[in-house]
């Protein structure tokens, strides 16, 4: 019976994978400009939009909760908690999405190499999965227990995602556009001006 269930599972799994394989979207060209630009945008949105210390501190600020508890009615308190919960959930979802994009970018780059280190790739995949899992656990904790459930975890996600950005930044540095120096923009030397 175990053999029967096992073979049935394998057969169904294969047909399901084939279904997704046929349905699968178009793969972007290897190392395409679009892919690199998307990675750059993801990094920017993480660094300047989602991870700044001030923003993270503001979303999860305990002082706000204490102030509302002292100054407002119970209805206002519950409204405050509900809104903070929505904001914190939106924040963690966006961070998770951005980390996923960075992971896709790493894989997109790795496939260009003829000889990968199997152990390294395996380890990286496990570690990326671990970080994504932490984000998911945080999401569940925020959903179940509210925005002040896991302050330590919030700091971790923000800090680790920040580290991801710092290192990914190095590999995408060439995509930063240098501002044009107005003094060098001289039509008499180059024949045209911007």
Partner 1 sequence: MTIFTQFVWLAGILLEGVILIRAIYGRFLARYSLFYLYIASVFAASTFLYFVDIVMPSLNVHLYWYVNFITLAMGCGVIFEISRQVFQHRVTLDRVARWSMAITFGAIFLLVAIHAFLLPRWNAATNSADLERDLRIAQAIVLMTILFLAGYYGIEMGKNIKGMILGLGVYVGASILSLSLRLLIGMRFHTAWSIIQSSSYLAALSIWAVALWAYNPGPAPRPPVSGGEYQKLAGRTRELLGSINEQLDRTTLQ
Binding-site ranges for partner 1 (CB under 8 A): 4, 6-8, 10-15, 17-18, 21-22, 24, 27-31, 104, 106-118, 120-121, 123-125, 127-128, 130-131, 134, 152-153, 155-156, 159-160, 163-164, 166-168, 170-171
User: Are the CB atoms for 85 and 142 separated by under 8 Å?
Assistant: yes
Instruction: Name the packing angle between helices 118-145 and 74-110 (round to 10°).
Output: 170
Min dist CB 128 to partner 1, Å, is 7
**Comparison of 26 and 176: residue with beta carbon closer to partner 1:** 26
**151 class by beta-carbon count within 10 Å (0-12 exposed, 13-18 middle, 19+ buried):** exposed
Min dist CB 67 to partner 1, Å, is 25
**Comparison of 8 and 76: residue with beta carbon closer to partner 1:** 8
Min dist CB 172 to partner 1, Å, is 11
**Comparison of 32 and 185: residue with beta carbon closer to partner 1:** 32
Min dist CB 44 to partner 1, Å, is 18
Min dist CB 34 to partner 1, Å, is 13
Q: How far apart are CA 44 and CA 34, in angstroms?
A: 15
**Comparison of 19 and 67: residue with beta carbon closer to partner 1:** 19
**Comparison of 119 and 178: residue with beta carbon closer to partner 1:** 119
Instruction: Name the packing angle between helices 151-171 and 74-110 (round to 10°).
Output: 30
Q: How far apart are CA 165 and CA 51, in angstroms?
A: 10
Phi-psi region of 120 (alpha: psi -120 to 50; beta: other; left: phi over 0): alpha
């Amino acid at each position: 019976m175990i053999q029967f269930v096992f073979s049935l599972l394998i057969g169904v799994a294969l047909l399901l994978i084939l279904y997704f394989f046929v349905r699968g979207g178009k793969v972007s060209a290897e190392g395409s400009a679009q892919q690199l630009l998307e990675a750059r945008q993801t990094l920017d949105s993480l660094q300047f939009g989602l991870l700044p210390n001030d923003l993270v501190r503001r979303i999860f600020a305990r002082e706000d909760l204490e102030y509302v508890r002292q100054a407002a009615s119970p209805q206002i308190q519950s409204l405050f908690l509900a809104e903070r919960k929505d904001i914190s959930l939106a924040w963690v979802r966006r961070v998770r999405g951005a980390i996923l994009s960075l992971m896709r970018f790493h894989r997109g780059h790795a496939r260009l190499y003829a000889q990968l280190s199997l152990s390294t790739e395996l380890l990286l995949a496990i570690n990326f999965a671990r970080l994504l899992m932490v984000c998911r656990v945080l999401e569940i904790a925020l959903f179940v227990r509210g925005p002040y459930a896991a302050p330590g975890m919030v700091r971790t996600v923000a800090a680790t995602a920040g580290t991801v950005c710092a290192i990914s930044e190095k590999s995408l540095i060439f995509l930063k556009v240098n501002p044009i120096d107005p003094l060098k923009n001289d039509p008499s030397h180059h024949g045209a001006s911007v």
